[in-house]
């Protein structure tokens, strides 16, 4: 029997599940929309129902007796308070929800080191401080922690990636003393382990619900962003991943942590390597202000990516940039406009490729290794003209991404845990 592991991704729109073999090949996958279970994306009940539906669909197409491990990723910075039985006590605060309590934000600003990811109104720590006074509270958990706990029965454990924005010190691998100085009740924070560590075996109820072996292990997961990186197959220091979605996001594996608060850069720990990156305000949403998707496809076919327009664009939708240039007043640069629409689109592609190249150079200046390869994900990765321009600007290998499903990256962590447990 070929053993299998399962990765589950719970995001803002739904749940996805992937079954993976030990050679990293995909045995099956499924996806279920969250809105099938109600209109509220903050409902933990809807999260769990979506996960159940996605996993049930996945298991209908594979040998469920072959499953050896399960891991979960969730949206970074999404927190919920629970009681001693793991029941939610209030509506969760999502990754982009802001805490508007000036006292909480001031306490964090006073005590947190400048490089900490716990700064800001959307941080996990701000949300934990907001929740900690609820009656009967026993713990504050991240979204992935709570979903995984429904498999293991452990409502007291998290992973280093999800805990980063709650103030966890990933270099010292502990909750730092300064957190208590903000007024946080430290006993409410979960134990933190490395992504890929085994946290327990399947609880009897979960094993029965899904028809899975009781000895299958539950493995510490990660955030959705880290999972998406892992899914591509990038594993070595110097490997980069560019996400060409509505924004332009780059990440690189580094042999040392990179911290640059000015650019909003901090590092997730992945074993003995570090994942650092930044996000530009350029990207697909800028293209969409000028052309429809159908028109972009049509014009791209007329582009010669081997030549330069000679135009020096910095495509932005409005003034302001965060990375690789930290300037809230930086104006868009999209003129002069050529007579032909294809040349205009080409110049925007060139400008975005230049931003991408500058972003990787900036990370190297901050201490990351030199870029050796780039894997591409997101809608823009399918555009051959843009890809050819990017290859020319970056001058490194462009291996294909093995997957653009975050659940596949989480399945890789499940496989790591299954190997640690001797089940694969």
Q: Which residues contact 229 (CB under 8 A, 6 or more apart)?
A: 241, 251, 275, 409
Whether residue 399 is contained in a domain is answered as no
Residue 165 located in a structural domain: yes
The answer to whether the CB of 341 falls within 8 A of the CB of 366 is no
Q: Are residues 359 and 214 in the same domain?
A: no
Please check whether residues 219 and 312 belong to one and the same domain. Answer: no
Q: Are residues 267 and 214 in the same domain?
A: no
DSSP state for residue 153 in the 8-state scheme: -
Mean pLDDT (the chain) is 97
What number of other Cβ atoms are within 10 A of residue 412's Cβ?
24
Residue 180 and residue 80 share a domain: yes
Kindly indicate the confidence band of residue 48, based on its pLDDT and cuts at 50, 70 and 90. Answer: very high
| Structure letter (DSSP) for residue 288 | H
The number of beta carbons lying within 10 Å of the beta carbon of residue 339 is 7
Q: How far is residue 150's CA from residue 156's CA, in Å, rounded to a whole number?
A: 12
291 and 361, same structural domain?
Answer: yes
Asked if residue 335 has pLDDT above 90, the reply is yes
Return the bridge partners of 7, or none.
18, 71
Tell me whether residue 400 is in a domain.
no
Do 310 and 186 lie in one domain? The reply is no
SS3 36: helix
Q: Which domain holds residue 336?
A: 235-394
Asked if residue 401 is part of any domain, the answer here is no
Do 241 and 195 share a domain, yes or no? no
Tell whether 153 and 27 lie within a shared domain: yes
Residue 30's SS3 state is strand
Q: Which two tokens stand for residue 186?
A: 């430290």
| 253 and 316 together in one domain | yes
Q: Can you give the CATH number for the domain in which 312 is found?
A: 3.30.420.40
pLDDT at residue 181 greater than cutoff 90: yes
Confidence of residue 1 (pLDDT cuts 50, 70, 90): confident
Residue 46, Cβ neighbours under 10 Å: how many?
19
Residue with tokens 């942590």: 257
**Cβ neighbours, 10 Å, residue 133:** 9
The number of distinct structural domains making up the chain is: 2
Q: What is the pLDDT of residues 138-179, one digit of tens each?
A: 999 999 999 999 999 999 999 999 999 999 999 999 999 999
3-state SS assignment for residue 5 = strand
Q: What's the pTM value of the predicted model, to 2 decimals?
A: 0.93
Residues 165, 286: one domain?
no
Same structural domain, 365 and 254: yes
Compare 261 and 61 and report the one with higher pLDDT.
61
Q: Which residues pair with 290 in a beta bridge?
A: none
Residues 212 and 273 in one domain: no
Mean pLDDT of 353-370: 97
- Asked whether residue 384 is domain-assigned, the answer is yes
Per-residue b or e along 53-72, where b marks 16 or more CB atoms closer than 10 Å to that residue's CB: bbbbbbbeebebebbbbbbb
């Amino acid at each position: 029997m070929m053993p299998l592991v399962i990765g589950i991704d719970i995001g803002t729109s739904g749940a996805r599940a992937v079954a993976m073999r030990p050679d990293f090949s995909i045995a099956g996958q499924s996806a279920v929309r969250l809105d099938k279970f109600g209109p509220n994306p903050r409902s933990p009940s809807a999260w769990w129902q979506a996960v159940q539906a996605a996993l049930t669909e996945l298991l209908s197409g594979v040998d469920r007796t072959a499953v050896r491990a399960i891991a979960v990723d969730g949206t970074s910075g999404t927190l919920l308070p629970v009681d001693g039985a793991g029941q939610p006590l209030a509506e969760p605060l999502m990754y982009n929800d802001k805490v508007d309590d000036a006292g909480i934000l001031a306490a964090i600003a006073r005590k947190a080191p400048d490089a900490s990811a716990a700064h800001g109104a959307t941080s996990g720590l701000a949300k934990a401080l907001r929740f900690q006074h609820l009656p009967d509270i026993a713990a504050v958990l991240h979204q992935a922690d709570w979903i995984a706990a429904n498999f293991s029965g452990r409502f007291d454990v998290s992973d280093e990636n999800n805990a980063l924005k709650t103030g966890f010190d990933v270099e010292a691998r502990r909750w730092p003393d300064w957190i208590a100085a903000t007024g946080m009740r430290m006993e409410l924070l979960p134990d933190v382990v490395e992504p890929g560590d085994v946290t327990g075996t399947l609880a009897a109820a979960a094993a029965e619900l899904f028809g899975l072996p009781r000895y299958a292990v539950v493995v510490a997961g990660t955030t959705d962003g880290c999972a998406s990186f892992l899914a591509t197959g990038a594993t070595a220091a110097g490997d980069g991943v560019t996400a060409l979605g509505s924004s332009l996001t780059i990440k690189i594996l580094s042999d040392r942590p990179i911290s640059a608060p000015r650019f909003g850069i901090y590092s997730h720990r992945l074993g003995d390597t570090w994942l650092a990156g930044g996000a530009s305000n350029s990207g697909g949403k800028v293209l969409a202000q000028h052309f429809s998707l159908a028109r972009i496809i049509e014009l791209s076919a007329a582009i010669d990516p081997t030549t330069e327009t000679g135009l020096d664009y910095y495509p932005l939708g409005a003034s302001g940039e965060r990375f690789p240039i930290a300037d809230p007043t930086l104006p868009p640069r999209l003129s002069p406009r050529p007579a032909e629409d294809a040349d205009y689109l080409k110049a925007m592609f060139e400008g975005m490729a230049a931003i991408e190249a500058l972003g990787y150079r900036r990370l190297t200046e901050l201490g990351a290794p030199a870029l050796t390869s780039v894997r591409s994900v997101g809608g823009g990765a399918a555009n051959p003209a843009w890809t050819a321009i990017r290859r020319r600007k970056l001058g490194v290998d462009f291996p294909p991404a093995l997957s653009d499903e975050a659940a596949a990256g989480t399945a890789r962590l499940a496989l790591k845990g299954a190997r640690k447990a001797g089940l694969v």
